[in-house]
Structure 1
Amino acid sequence: MTIAAYTLAAVLNVFILFIGVRFLLQPFAAAAGYGVPATQDRAYLEIKGVRDTTFGVVGLVLLIFAGAQAEAWYMLAVALAPIGDTFIVLRHGGSKAVAFGVHLATAAVVLISSALLFLA
């Protein structure tokens, strides 16, 4: 179970790191994938890029240097971000499929990762 917990946490951290970098390099394409397309306000898209990149880096650092328990608490706390993203997409007329199928599903997987790490 420890290998599965660490692997899932590492994959999730690398994935959010990738999303953050995509928001920095291709902000409008990334926003469309997020569920709320944007045609301006690049600065706000880049803020999301920095946020997500930071989440990924901090998660990897905790996993490598602090261990499963610290990463589990981190994942538990950081699950708030995709839950918030779900509501943002819905509030701004985005697709329910993206809101629930991407953002809320991500929150669920992050919470599962947290639980596995607590058990590791």
Structure 2
Amino acid sequence: MSRSLLPGAPLDPGLQPERTRMAWSRTSLAFVANGALLVHAGHVPDGWWYMLPGCAVMAAGCVVYAVGLLRHRQVYRAVRAGTPVSGDSAIRATLLTAVAACVLAAAVLLGRP
């Protein structure tokens, strides 16, 4: 039942879920770090609203981390059961969030006095 890319090598069912967890963690860290940079870039006197996009991106990073935890569990269960891992809606939603973060970053940097 367990297969590997190398003949005779055992399949470690813990590797794929761990790679998934680490990838989602790195993605969420990137969101939070870029959100912090946006907050810093939007910090101007009497212009607190310029920091709102950065706060939104940091909040999105927290959501991405939570989705990553759920995705880790899903992948772990699928690998343990030997079933294919399906469902790419979380990946598409993260992509759309990243595009929105880029648009917000451009708005902050271009609209800053």
TM-score by length of 1: 0.47
Q: Larger Cα Rg: Structure 1 or Structure 2?
A: 2
Taking structure 2 as the reference length, the TM-score comes to 0.49
